[in-house]
Amino acid sequence: MATEYRLGLYEKSMPGTLTLREKLLCAKEAGFDYLELSIDETDEKLARLDWTDTEISDLRRAMEETGVPIHSICLSGHRKYPMGHPDSAVRSHSMEIMKKAILLASRLGIRLIQLAGYDVYYEKGTPNTRCFFEENLRRSALLAAEYGVVIAFETMETPFMNTVAKAMRYVNAVGNPWLQVYPDIGNLTNAALTEEGSVTMDLETGRGHIAAVHLKETVPGVFREVPFGTGHVDFVSDARKALELGVRVFVGEFWYTGSESWRQDLWDANVFLREKLAAAISA
């Protein structure tokens, strides 16, 4: 098995008061290879989709000068403006977000956008919301193809798309090579408690379609802010399977929670995840 891989750092693992240049430097100091940019549902993060030419140029320069690229975007803004929303105005705004995100990725040299696997989030899903979702997904994949940016589903914490197998139903239905899967093994571990099979079996269903993997810790019923090593995720087994499937980019996903030792937390997370990946490679 080839041993080369890259390990990225989720932007929200650091205080929001830092500039992106400072976050790039912190990622580098902690030993990570790249940064994953967050565009969530807050107005502050969604405003990034309207960065000026100067702001984009400044960020490109920061990546070059720090030597730390932004390889991927975690696009969770669709939680508030989902592609399957019953209101056509919301769906229209959702597609505007999608197009702007793809254009931003193209201009920054970002190759991968992680999509939230929801037809709707704050509303109740229906056959219509699923139909709207698939329709707009097809449009999104064509936009991604136009600009050469991969879009890939995150496996979520809700039953709609909490497994790779469920994500693959849409990947297969759309049939566009620019639409893939970006699993979160913490979410998959919790899903395995209620779905048939195991995390590794589920990952297998995405063979040939997994673009990257989120490495996140969880405990049953809890999906966020679980410190690495305190949950039930089998990082070694799951990472080994991902590597076997050809995955070579991973992101450590965890959150800044106000701790004064957040810099040490970044370092500790890098050491923990590198050790698990090394064990997966040598297992």
Euclidean distance between CA atoms 262 and 258, whole angstroms: 8
- Locus of tokens 């790779």: 164
Q: What is the reported pLDDT for 195?
A: 83
| Close Cβ partners of 265 (under 8 Å, ≥ 6 residues apart) | 13, 254, 259
Q: Is 28 part of any domain? A: yes
Residue 41 pLDDT greater than 60, yes or no? yes
- Token couple for 196: 């048939």
- Token couple for 125: 């899903």
Chain-centroid distance of CA 151 in Å reads 10
Q: Is 41 part of any domain? A: yes
Number of folded domains in the chain?
1
Tens of pLDDT, residue by residue over 78-100, are 999 999 999 999 999 999 999 99
- Token couple for 228: 């690495």
Q: Is 119 part of any domain? A: yes
How sure is the predictor about 70, in pLDDT bands with cuts at 50, 70 and 90?
A: very high
How much is the average pLDDT of 219-229?
A: 91
Extended strands (E) in 106-261: 112-116, 150-154, 179-182, 213-215, 249-252
Q: Is 96 part of any domain? A: yes
- Report how far apart, in Å, the C-alpha atoms of 148 and of each of 74, 106, 133, 278 are: 17, 8, 22, 32
Q: 3-state class of 156 per DSSP?
A: coil
Domain encompassing residue 158: 6-282
- Report how far apart, in Å, the C-alpha atoms of 111 and of each of 102, 178, 241 are: 9, 11, 23
- Report how far apart, in Å, the C-alpha atoms of 136 and of each of 51, 104, 123, 262 are: 24, 19, 17, 39
Q: How far apart are the first and last CA of the chain?
A: 10
Q: Is 1 part of any domain? A: no
- Report how far apart, in Å, the C-alpha atoms of 119 and of each of 128, 188, 231, 236 are: 10, 18, 29, 32
Q: Is 138 part of any domain? A: yes
Mean model confidence pLDDT for the chain? 95
Q: What is the reported pLDDT for 3?
A: 61
- Token couple for 28: 């580098």
- Where residue 181 sits, what CATH number does that domain have? 3.20.20.150
Q: What is the CA radius of gyration of the chain?
A: 18
Q: 3-state class of 265 per DSSP?
A: helix
Q: Is 221 part of any domain? A: yes
Tens of pLDDT, residue by residue over 99-138, are 999 999 999 999 999 999 899 988 999 999 999 999 999 9
